[in-house]
Amino acid sequence: MITEPAAPGRLFDALQSSAVREVSELREVYEQPGDHARRKQVDRIHDVARQLIGCSSLVMVASADGEGRCDVSPRGGPAGFVAVLDDRTLAIPDATGNKRLDSLQNVVTTGRVGLLFVVPGRDTTLRVNGRACVTTDERLLAQLTAVGKPPRSAIVVEVEEVYGHCPKAFLRGSAWKPEQWLGKDAQPTSAQVTLSHLRDPELTLHQIEQAERESLRYRYE
């Protein structure tokens, strides 16, 4: 436990002295993975993985820029909106967002991506890692209409690793148990978060809420 407060913004630096430096140090703390954990990774989208992707309406897209700064962005659509092109290739259609293009720029820069497919109400998830690129190929985009119309671009993933993820996180977090969810008034709304980050005294919460409603109304444009 830290007994003396570090200077503002310096807590991370203060903890560096006790940071793990080598993988071998981690193995002194954790046991070796079991045989099943080691063997569950495959290098292609087999039939069961294809079925799960077809049930998923939400995928988390993890990427990093050229300097290693990481980002995770959720992508959603009707179940199966991510297209399985063959047993080693996926296509994730882009949908209208804030146009920062964080994930797309990262993929263009590094050519790598990590995915976590989620099925709402279920604790089964699928992790996929591999090479990636951003495409504007009109022939492919014309096939990716699950989000309403052909997207402006898509992330194409060449699969290298596929494996199911342990359901414990969803169970521990009570992700699908509404009776254990916080009430709406127990957390800041997305509009409140946005307003606090913009720090513009001329903006009001009502204006941000109205902008969010309009953005959701025209989310496919």
27-59 pLDDT, tens digit each:
899 988 888 888 888 999 999 999 999 999 999
Topology of the domain covering 39-171: Pnp Oxidase; Chain A (2.30.110)
* Mean pLDDT of the region 15-27: 89
Phi, psi of 91 (to 5 degrees): -135, 125
> Hey, how many other C-beta atoms are within 10 angstroms of the C-beta on 209?
16
C-alpha closest to that of 153 among 133, 176, 173: 133
**pLDDT of residue 122 exceeding 70:** yes
> For a pLDDT cut of 70, what percent of the chain falls above it?
94
Beta carbons of 87 and 46 less than 8 angstroms apart: yes
Q: Sheet containing 154-165: which strands, arranged edge to edge?
A: 70-76, 58-64, 112-118, 125-135, 154-165, 89-93, 83-86
Torsion from C-alpha of 144, 146, 147, 152, nearest 10 degrees: 10
pLDDT tens for each residue of 134-192? 999 999 999 999 878 899 999 999 999 999 988 899 889 998 999 998 888 888 888 88
With beta carbons less than 8 A apart as the criterion, state whether 110 and 146 touch. no
- What are the extents of the domains in the chain? 39-171, 182-217
Q: If we measure between CA atoms, which residue out of 45, 49, 53, 37 comes closest to residue 117?
A: 53
Q: Which of 148, 150, 145, 151 is nearest to 101 (CA)?
A: 151
Q: Whole-angstrom Cα distance, residue 107 to residue 11? A: 31
